[in-house]
Amino acid sequence: MPPMNDTDALNAVMAKKAEELGCLPPEWLEQIYTEKWFKLFVPENLGGLGCSLPEALRIEEKLAYADGSLGWTVTLCAGAGWFVGFMEDSLRNTIFTDPKLCLAGSGFVGGKADRVGDRYLINGHWVYASGALHASHFTANCALYDNGNPVHDAKGNPVVKAFILDKNEVKILDGWNYMGMIATGSHAFEVEHLDVPLNRCFDIDPAKAQLPDLVYQYPFLQFAEATLAVNILGISRHLQELVVAAFWKRDAYRQYSERQQKYFRQIVDKQKAKMESIKLTFYDAIKNSWNELETKKAISPTTLKKISQISHKLTRTCRETNAKLYPFAGLEAAKIETELNRVWRDFSTVSQHALLIFPF
């Protein structure tokens, strides 16, 4: 196990500070704004990076490896920033040029938007808005109403649309009381009798994209599965390295037998090979889907199914591998003030995300 370098040491210090604050510290936020990580998918002409999905996933994995809350907050806020491709020009050009833009949001359909004339009246409560404490805007899904009457589509299903709200229009509710991912500040938020213009709503549908960039043609389900999976991958890589370091630290004073050391090395080598194999397969699948989108302007159902399958398999492999290695960390893993314990808590929290729980 190589010694911790200066970057790793600094990230550990900043991660501890972030957890104590319950949100990303100013130093990290300034770096995020400078690097434009909240605007991974925002076009360059609006001050973003204009990344392809394969490019963005590598960045998100790297950030999740540095710290779970850092990677997750960037991923979720940048993911909400991806909605820029579905908004009208007037809204897009007003909001997304801000260099400190940060969108927090929730996929939960927690609101009602009642259309009255040329306005919507919104009431609702949404949960798990990562990055809420430093967000400039929030996105929220609402069921549509028309003068008090629910709106349905041709099949009789309720019509749901996403809305973008200014931070001054929402009330943040301190509700992120979980053991891990503390610095994501994934609080709930609510609005009451909020009156907004019609252009505040948009459809998250590649067929209705307002910008031509390919990334907005990537279906949202597979986009979400892939971005969440790389966060679990990055956190798992960090956790596993810390477990290995903890084992050899214990060996220095416990003096494990040659048989025990050999057994541990075999376990580590086997799990490392599994992780590397599934990681390569995942990124190859993502690359192939992107190439298909570039050449054919669409991704086939078969390819999309493969993306979902590999995202779920990657997550499952991380869970299994972490479970194999974790016991070798000893009681060091149970000390709440240690980096190892924090990363384990982050993994144990983020891996509960409902999107990647069940086998595909």
Give the DSSP H/E element, type plus range, for residue 193: strand 187-197
Tell me what the pLDDT averaged over the chain comes to. Answer: 95
Domain 103-208 CATH superfamily: Butyryl-CoA Dehydrogenase, subunit A, domain 2 (2.40.110.10)
Match 């949202």 to its residue by tokens. Answer: 220
Residue 59 CA to residue 65 CA, distance in Å, equals 10
Which of 242-255 are b and which e, b meaning 16 or more Cβ less than 10 Å from the residue's Cβ? Answer: bbbbbbeebeeeee
User: What are the strands, taking DSSP E only, across the chain?
Assistant: 103-116, 119-129, 137-146, 149-150, 160-166, 171-173, 187-197, 201-202
Instruction: Identify residue 51 by its one-letter amino acid code.
Output: C
| 85-127 tens-digit pLDDT | 999 998 999 999 999 999 999 888 999 999 999 999 999 999 9
Within 8 A by CB and 6+ apart from 195, the residues are: 119, 120, 121, 122
Q: How far is the C-alpha of 215 from the C-alpha of 317, rounded, in Å? A: 27
Report the amino acid identity of residue 353.
H
pTM above 0.85, yes or no: yes
pLDDT digits (tens, 9 = 90+) for 293-333: 999 999 999 999 999 999 999 999 999 999 999 999 998 88
The token pair that represents 86 in the structure block: 């579905």
At CB < 8 A and 24+ separation, what contacts does 23-29 make?
Answer: 23/133, 23/134, 23/183, 23/184, 23/185, 24/69, 24/70, 24/73, 24/131, 24/134, 24/183, 24/185, 28/70, 29/134
pLDDT (0 to 100) of residue 6? 65
Give tens-digit pLDDT for 149-158: 999 999 999 9
**Residue 128 has which token pair?**
């798990």
Taking the CA atoms of residue 328, residue 334, residue 339 and residue 344 in that order, the dihedral angle to the nearest 10 degrees is 70
| Strand 187-197 with 119-129, pairing | antiparallel
Q: Which CATH superfamily is domain 218-356 in?
A: Butyryl-CoA Dehydrogenase, subunit A, domain 3 (1.20.140.10)
Distance CA 279, CA 170 (A): 39
CA 142-146-150 angle, 5° bins:
65
Extract the tokens encoding 237.
Answer: 């890589």
CATH 2.40.110.10 placement within the chain: 103-208
Whether the predicted pLDDT of 3 surpasses 70: no
pLDDT tens for residues 240-285? 999 999 999 999 988 999 999 999 999 999 999 999 999 999 999 9
Burial label for 160, CB within 10 Å (0-12, 13-18, 19+), is middle
Which run of H or of E encompasses 112?
strand 103-116
List C-alpha distances in Å: 224 to 103, 204, 239, 267, 350: 15, 12, 23, 32, 14
Q: What is the pLDDT of residue 255?
A: 92
Q: What's residue 1's pLDDT? A: 42
- Residue limits of CATH 1.10.540.10 in the chain: 6-85
Q: Where in the chain is the domain with CATH 1.20.140.10?
A: 218-356
CATH superfamily membership of 6-85: Acyl-CoA dehydrogenase/oxidase, N-terminal domain (1.10.540.10)
